[in-house]
Amino acid sequence: MTHKPLQSAKCRLEIALDTIKNNYLFLQKKCPNTDVGAAVKANAYGLGVRHVAPILKRAGCRHFFVASCEEGVFLRGIIGYDANIYVFSGVFANELETFMEYGLVPILNHLSQIEIWQGFASEINRKLPCFLHLDTGMHRLGMPKSEIDALDLDADMYKLDILCIMSHLASADELDKPFSALQLKRFKEYSHKFGDVKQSLANSSGIFLGQDYHFDLARPGAALYGINPMPNMSETVAIKNPVKLFAPIIQLHNLPIGESVGYNNTYTNGGDKSCPIATIPIGYADGLSRALSNKGHVYINRFKASIIGRVSMDLITIDVSSVPAEYCFLGAPVEIIGDHCTPADIASASGTNAYEVLTNLGNRYERIYN
């Protein structure tokens, strides 16, 4: 078999936008009486908000969540002004004019942020929109019960238009734990103070806890991008992975008996014959965790190949002894993420979660959106 000369050492990241759209539509179908928004923070979990947000908008999404004011400004330039953008970190004193200019809605997390937004509303003599974040047990962002009880809606928020009150579930993916039910109970209790204001509680996993958690607005993130929010629930198989990452083989070797590969000699050929190995141009600078050293796996034409030696900044080495020789050639595509190795698989091998795998995807890839 002959092959074309190696054309490039560029890794290829393929992102199926239709899969992201279909994941969104599936989640909307799961809660038909609830608006379904989209968390597109961290560059749409590393997949590229410039491409992802428009496809979600065309699918009917009108509620987008970002982490910061800067992310909100960037997103506004992508989706226009006929959709809503909410900022999880809230508003700070040096961002007031920016929030106004770009029509961003702050999620107010504590009394100080309420004071900042209320003061600005009074200064410009305008009623300003906001979300209120109530802490029901995450103890990260959000107003604790003491602040909720102390809040005087007439005196503290008379210039604010509370569009929605929200909280965040800490462990909705763990069905055997009662904490989500406790948070739901607290959320309902705290919500009484705000009358008929709209409510939001469910993240990706929360959607699958049932209608009691859906309220008026759901805020999925991970499930849109193919991360299974409920690994032990069969119905989530409809959520598909939209990401494929390939790296070409750039060198082939035979590792002699007793010889090692990579930094610090962490892998030595202890067999009774030389071992065929391949080098591919991807490393921790591209988001492939160093924790995969001597632990991770990749695939070549459906055949599994182990990562051997240290994951370095730009390169890894793989054992191709189980891969038929006709599939091992310079330029042969090696599947890093795809049908045989999902972000969840990589996360399991490296001791993290699939969120980190996606958001760590580097910027040296040739990105192909289809």
Catalogue the active-site residues: 41, 263
Closest C-alpha to 246, from 9, 3, 6: 9
Whether residue 91 contacts residue 97, with contact meaning beta carbons closer than 8 Å, is answered with: no
Listed in order, strand segments (DSSP E) in the chain are 12-15, 35-36, 38-39, 63-66, 84-87, 104-108, 128-133, 160-166, 198-200, 217-218, 243-248, 251-255, 260-261, 267-268, 275-280, 297-300, 303-308, 316-319, 333-337, 366-369
Q: 306 Cβ partners below 8 Å, 6+ apart?
A: 294, 296, 297, 318, 319
- How far are the Cα atoms of 58, 113, 136, 348 from residue 143, in angstroms, in the given order? 34, 10, 9, 34
Whether residue 333 contacts residue 323, with contact meaning beta carbons closer than 8 Å, is answered with: no
The label of the residue with tokens 């100080």 reads 112
- How far are the Cα atoms of 49, 64, 70, 97, 210 from residue 77, in angstroms, in the given order? 11, 13, 11, 17, 35
Copy the structure tokens of residue 295. Answer: 């632990």
Q: Residue count of the chain, please give it.
A: 370
